[in-house]
């Protein structure tokens, strides 16, 4: 089982990810509504996997990715965002995220991406 | 650990793999060489020893004769009474040397070399040598005794001992010399046979080495040829693939340099040659924007990072669909759509290159666009069909005519030369009025396609009007819009005719008369506007709209009614949630009254029970046009202020589908001025607004009939 934190300002998306993630492999340990919350919860729970929205209030996804990677360089971050801005997605990966999933997504796409993301990671 | 395994694997690979023969041959070669060298060494040492033996045997021959010579020298010295000591000492030394050497030959041991150093001799082993030594010993034993008697004797005994020794020497000396000679010859022949053996060994060894060398060479060359052939075959296959695939294929390295091998299709697609070794920049630099290129480079850089999952970043590929303009052979530019895909290419587990595949997806994109366009056209046609089926065919025909005429007028306006920005501003306003009128009419007839089209048209003019210094070029996009509008009107006309034929109705050729505006059409207009704005409205018609007016008057009445009704619903009537707290019914009431005061005067009024005019907002807007000052307006009465609504550019609302951005009412005023009519506004804040039009009636050929009608409906 791998611990997962979900970061998204939309309640609906948070719920969707939480519901869709395969419980056989992923254990949702924290839900964050913005970057600041995410950093706090990350320090408290130390999840190995994080799903990250990019546009959020308080602290955006890019900065949040940077902060989380600084705390734990091994963290696997999957950016989940709309494709409106490819450049921001690339920037997030340049700052340390490991993958990108485009909104909207279905259960299969989410679990496929998460499985790919954690490949080679042992709990 | 891994490296060790790898090393072991490599060694095993070499031993049992394709290099086995070469390795075995080389090992044999080395073994053979080493054996030959060792034998050579061994025999050379033996030959060196044998040479020493031959030398010493030869010396024995000489010593046997020196002993004889010394005895004679001694005899001479005695007879001549010379000093006998030197010959006696020479004899002694010779005896000892001969004796020790003969002993060494017989049973092995040290002898003394010519330079006095000891030298080890192996005991002679061949039978001939042994016989010679044994025979020599048999002679030497008594001979040595006699000679020792001579050298050990004192002066008086020396002569008789010497005589005995000379006697013995005379009998045996030659035999001893012969035996020593035999020994020498025998030793020489042994050494010679060893040298012959050595030559044989060397010859055979070298021959074998040469044969081995040729075997290795043969194997090596054959293998080299074989691997060359395979490499060539692989290269040939790659070339064939690259020559024939339809996709653009190439490898990119970390510096974004294109590989030397790439597909021919790449050259054809990009109409360029010699791409190998050039950069991605050279390939795409003048086809896509710098920003796009830099994004693509950043994306590729991500692919070179092995901590990022390539399967998870495909969505970020900025070159998934790129529009490029490629110069064709005729020198023209052709627009194409390319799809780039990127795959990692590994070398020994590391990301060495990125394999780029370029697909020409122009056909697909064009087809998709055509499909979308067709869908849009179909939707529009269905919508037009629906509106046609719901409209009076005569009204529709007349509307289409109106559009044609308006397009003609707009064309004329566009052609007029106008240099100053004021003239251009006026041009924009004039076109806007024309377009706005069509919008009003289409709205009244429920022709949404025309409404949307004219609304977009208005937006474009709006942006021109907003510019402080409009230029002639700004009007170019209008030509396209105008043509679109004209084409659409044409298609509607064609459809109307077809439908007429289909339904068996024959449309009478219209004489340009405007479509009839009755309660149903006007009520529908009000409901549509209200619905769009989330309002509820009921239209009450008192009296009937006049028919048979002269054309100019007819247009004025229509413009006035349409504009003021739109105005009433969109600006006057509040939304239900605003009305209810004010104690008003949810649905607003709009009343259109038509009265004929006398035979020659017609009065039309449009009243709404809405919010009334916001005079403060109106003043601000008027000031914003720059034609009025705040101080000036503050002195005006509400009555006078409300006249501002007829000023071009003054409106209390933003430009939207249901408002004219301050043009609609000014358009009415223009007509009022020229028709000898008058228009007035009365508004009370919170209560409502009334627009009134009075005009002298000049009847057209047909008699005016006033259709009494009274209707009220909730929409």
* CATH code, domain with B165: 1.20.1330
Residue B443 falls inside a structural domain: no
Residue B426 falls inside a structural domain: no
Name which residue leads in pLDDT, B655 or A30.
Answer: A30
B149 vs B679: CA distance, rounded Å: 181
Q: Which residues of B touch A94 (CB under 8 A)?
A: 298, 301-302
Which residue of B293, B299, B315, B317 to mutate against A (max A Cβ within 10 Å)? B315
Class of domain A2-105: alpha beta
Domain end, chosen from B337, B360, B383, is at: B360
Residue B452 falls inside a structural domain: no
Residue B613 · residue B639 · CB < 8 Å? no
Q: Do B190 and B283 fall into the same domain?
A: no
Q: Which residues contact B613 (CB under 8 A, 6 or more apart)?
A: B638, B641, B642, B645, B652, B681, B683, B685, B689
Domain end, chosen from B331, B360, B389, is at: B360
B244 vs B241: CA distance, rounded Å: 5
Domain end, chosen from B321, B344, B360, is at: B360
In percent, the amount of chain B with pLDDT more than 70 equals 89
Shortest Cα distance, chain B CAs vs residue A111, angstroms: 12
Q: Do B153 and B284 fall into the same domain?
A: no
DSSP string over B28-82 = HHHHHHHHHHHHHHHHHHHHHHHHHHHHHHHHHHHHHHHHHHHHHHHHHHHHHT-
pLDDT for residue B399 is more than 90:
no
pLDDT for residue B715 is more than 50:
no
pLDDT for the residue numbered B18: 62
pLDDT for the residue numbered B153: 86
Residue B342 · residue B355 · CB < 8 Å? yes
Q: What number of other Cβ atoms are within 10 A of residue B672's Cβ?
A: 19
Q: Which residue shows structure tokens 């997605």?
A: A89
Q: ipTM score here?
A: 0.92
Residue B617 pLDDT class (50, 70, 90 cuts): confident
Give the residue extent of every domain in chain A.
2-105
Across the A:B interface, residue pairs with CB atoms under 8 Å apart total: 44
pLDDT for residue A67 is more than 60:
yes
A52 vs A42: CA distance, rounded Å: 12
Residue B459 falls inside a structural domain: no
Looking at A30-44, B197-211, B408-422, B660-674, which range is the least confident one? B660-674
pLDDT for the residue numbered B512: 47
Q: What are phi and psi of B319, to 5 degrees?
A: -110, 30
Name which residue leads in pLDDT, B394 or B689.
Answer: B689
Among candidate residues B496, B502, B248, the one with its CA nearest the CA of residue B393: B496
pLDDT for the residue numbered A50: 95
pLDDT for the residue numbered B441: 82
Residue B392 falls inside a structural domain: no
CA dihedral B90, B95, B100, B103 (to 10 degrees): 160
Identify the closest residue of chain A to B291 by CA–CA distance: A87
Name which residue leads in pLDDT, B28 or A27.
Answer: A27
B697 vs B599: CA distance, rounded Å: 8
Tell me whether residues A117 and B302 touch, CB distance under 8 A.
Answer: no
B248-252 vs B333-347, strand pairing mode: unpaired
B409 vs B607: CA distance, rounded Å: 33
Tell me whether residues A93 and B316 touch, CB distance under 8 A.
Answer: yes
Which of A110-114, B427-431, B540-544, B580-584 tops mean pLDDT? A110-114
Eight-class DSSP state of B497: H
B342 vs B357: CA distance, rounded Å: 6
Looking at B29-33, B215-219, B316-320, B386-390, which range is the least confident one? B386-390
Tell me whether residues A93 and B313 touch, CB distance under 8 A.
Answer: yes
pLDDT for the residue numbered B13: 63
Residue B91 falls inside a structural domain: yes
Q: Which domain holds residue B547?
A: 517-715
Residue B198, exposed/middle/buried by CB under 10 A (0-12, 13-18, 19+)? middle
Looking at A45-54, A58-67, B534-543, which range is the least confident one? B534-543
Query: What's the rounded mean pLDDT across residues B664-692?
Result: 81
Name which residue leads in pLDDT, B414 or B15.
Answer: B414
3-state helix, strand, coil split of chain A in percent (to 5) is 40, 25, 35
Residue B537 falls inside a structural domain: yes
CB of B290 less than 8 A from some CB of A: no
Residue B82 · residue B34 · CB < 8 Å? no
Query: Which residues face B680 on adjacent strands?
Result: B692
Q: Which residues contact B31 (CB under 8 A, 6 or more apart)?
A: none
A17 vs A107: CA distance, rounded Å: 8
Q: What number of other Cβ atoms are within 10 A of residue B588's Cβ?
A: 26
Q: Which residues of A touch B318 (CB under 8 A)?
A: 86, 90
Give the angle subtended at the CA of B620 by the CAs of B614 and B622, to the nearest 5°.
100
B224 vs B269: CA distance, rounded Å: 39
Q: Do B250 and B216 fall into the same domain?
A: no
Q: Do B135 and B251 fall into the same domain?
A: no
Query: What's the rounded mean pLDDT across residues B636-660?
Result: 68
CB of B119 less than 8 A from some CB of A: no
Tell me whether residues A89 and B316 touch, CB distance under 8 A.
Answer: yes
Residue B472 falls inside a structural domain: no
Tell me whether residues A93 and B307 touch, CB distance under 8 A.
Answer: no
pLDDT for the residue numbered B503: 57
pLDDT for the residue numbered B664: 67
Query: What's the rounded mean pLDDT across residues B268-282?
Result: 88
Looking at A32-46, A95-109, B341-355, B514-528, which range is the least confident one? B514-528
B58 vs B185: CA distance, rounded Å: 9
Among candidate residues B563, B540, B572, B537, the one with its CA nearest the CA of residue B687: B572
pLDDT for residue B671 is more than 80:
no
Count the domains in chain B: 3
Query: Tokens representing B624?
Result: 């914003």
Q: Do B250 and B117 fall into the same domain?
A: no
Q: What number of other Cβ atoms are within 10 A of residue B589's Cβ?
A: 19
Among candidate residues B254, B478, B243, B259, the one with its CA nearest the CA of residue B351: B254
Tell me whether residues A90 and B309 touch, CB distance under 8 A.
Answer: no
B693 vs A80: CA distance, rounded Å: 61
Residue A6 · residue A51 · CB < 8 Å? yes
Q: Do B30 and B140 fall into the same domain?
A: yes
CATH code at position B334: 3.30.450.20
B681: Cα separation from own chain's centroid: 67
CB of B320 less than 8 A from some CB of A: no
Q: Which residues of A touch B309 (CB under 8 A)?
A: 98-99, 116-117, 119
């Amino acid at each position: 089982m791998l611990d997962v934190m979900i970061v998204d300002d939309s309640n609906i998306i948070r719920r969707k990810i939480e519901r869709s993630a395969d419980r056989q492999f992923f254990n949702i340990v924290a839900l964050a509504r913005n970057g600041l919350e995410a950093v706090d919860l990350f320090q408290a729970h130390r999840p190995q996997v994080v799903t990250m929205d990019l546009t959020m209030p308080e602290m955006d996804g890019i900065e949040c990715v940077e902060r989380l990677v600084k705390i734990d360089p091994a963290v696997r971050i999957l950016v989940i965002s709309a494709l409106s801005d490819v450049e921001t997605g690339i920037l997030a990966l340049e700052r340390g995220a490991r993958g990108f999933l485009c909104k909207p997504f279905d259960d299969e796409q989410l679990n496929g991406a998460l499985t790919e993301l954690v490949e080679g990671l042992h709990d | 650990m891994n490296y060790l395994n790898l090393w072991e694997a490599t060694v095993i690979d070499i031993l049992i793999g394709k290099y086995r023969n070469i390795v075995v041959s080389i090992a044999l070669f080395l073994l053979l060489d080493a054996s030959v060298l060792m034998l050579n060494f061994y025999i050379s040492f033996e030959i060196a020893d044998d040479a020493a033996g031959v030398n010493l045997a030869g010396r024995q021959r000489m010593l046997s004769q020196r002993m004889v010579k010394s005895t004679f020298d001694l005899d001479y010295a005695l007879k001549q009474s010379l000093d006998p000591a030197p010959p006696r000492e020479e004899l002694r030394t010779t005896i000892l040397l001969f004796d020790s050497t003969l002993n060494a030959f017989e049973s092995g041991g040290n002898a003394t070399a010519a330079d006095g150093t000891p030298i080890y001799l192996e005991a002679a082993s061949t039978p001939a040598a042994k016989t010679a030594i044994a025979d020599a010993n048999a002679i030497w034993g008594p001979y040595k005794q006699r000679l020792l008697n001579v050298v050990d004797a004192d002066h008086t005994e020396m002569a008789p001992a010497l005589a005995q020794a000379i006697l013995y020497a005379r009998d045996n000396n030659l035999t001893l010399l012969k035996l020593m000679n035999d020994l020498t010859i025998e030793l020489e022949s042994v050494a010679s046979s060893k040298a012959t053996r050595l030559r044989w060994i060397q010859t055979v060894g070298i021959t074998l080495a040469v044969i081995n060398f040729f075997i290795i060479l043969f194997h090596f060359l054959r293998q080299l040829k074989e691997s060359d052939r395979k490499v060539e075959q692989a290269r040939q296959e790659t070339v064939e693939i690259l020559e024939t695939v339809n996709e653009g294929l190439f490898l990119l390295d970390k510096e974004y340099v294109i590989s030397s091998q790439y597909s021919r299709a790449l050259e054809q697609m990009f109409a360029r040659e010699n791409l190998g070794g050039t950069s991605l920049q050279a390939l795409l630099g003048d086809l896509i924007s710098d920003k796009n290129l830099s994004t693509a480079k950043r994306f590729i850089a991500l692919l070179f990072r092995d901590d990022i999952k390539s399967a998870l970043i495909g969505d970020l590929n900025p070159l998934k669909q790129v529009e490029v303009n490629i110069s064709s052979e005729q020198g023209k530019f052709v627009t194409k759509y390319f799809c780039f895909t990127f795959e990692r290419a590994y070398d020994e587990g590391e990301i060495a290159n990125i394999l780029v595949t370029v697909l020409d997806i122009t056909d697909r994109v064009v087809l998709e666009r055509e499909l979308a366009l067709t869908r849009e056209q179909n939707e529009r046609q269905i919508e037009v069909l629906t509106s046609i089926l719901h409209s009076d065919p005569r009204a529709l025909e007349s509307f289409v005519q109106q559009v044609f005429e308006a397009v003609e007028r707009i064309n004329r306006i566009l052609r007029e030369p106008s240099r100053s920005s004021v003239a251009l501003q006026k041009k924009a306003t004039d076109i806007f009025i024309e377009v706005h009128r069509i919008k009003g009419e289409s709205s009244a007839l429920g022709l949404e396609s025309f409404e949307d089209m004219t609304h977009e048209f208005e937006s474009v003019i709006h942006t021109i009007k907003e510019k402080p210094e409009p230029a002639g070029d700004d009007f170019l996009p209008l030509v396209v819009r105008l043509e679109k509008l004209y084409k659409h009107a044409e298609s509607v006309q064609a459809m109307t005719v077809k439908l007429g034929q289909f339904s068996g109705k024959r449309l009478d050729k219209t004489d340009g008369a405007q479509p009839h505006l009755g309660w149903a059409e006007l009520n529908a207009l009000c409901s549509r506007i209200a619905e769009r704005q989330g309002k509820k409205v009921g239209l009450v018609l008192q009296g009937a709209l006049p028919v048979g007016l002269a054309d100019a008057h007819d247009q004025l009445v229509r413009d006035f009614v349409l504009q003021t009704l739109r105005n009433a619903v969109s600006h006057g009537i509040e939304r239900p949630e605003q009305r209810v707290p004010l104690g008003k019914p949810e649905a607003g009431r709009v009343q259109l009254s038509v009265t004929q005061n006398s035979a020659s005067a017609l009065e039309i009024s449009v009243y709404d029970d809405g919010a009334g005019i916001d005079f403060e907002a109106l003043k601000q807007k008027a000031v914003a046009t720059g034609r009025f000052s705040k101080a000036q307006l503050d002195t005006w009465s509400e009555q006078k202020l409300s006249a501002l609504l007829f000023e071009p550019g003054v409106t209390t609302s933003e430009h939207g589908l249901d408002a004219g951005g301050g043009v609609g009412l000014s358009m009415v005023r223009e007509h009022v001025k020229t028709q000898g009519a008058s228009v007035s506004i009365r508004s009370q804040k919170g209560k409502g607004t009334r627009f009134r039009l009075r005009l002298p009636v000049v009847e057209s050929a047909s008699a005016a009939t006033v259709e009494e009608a009274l209707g009220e409906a909730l929409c």
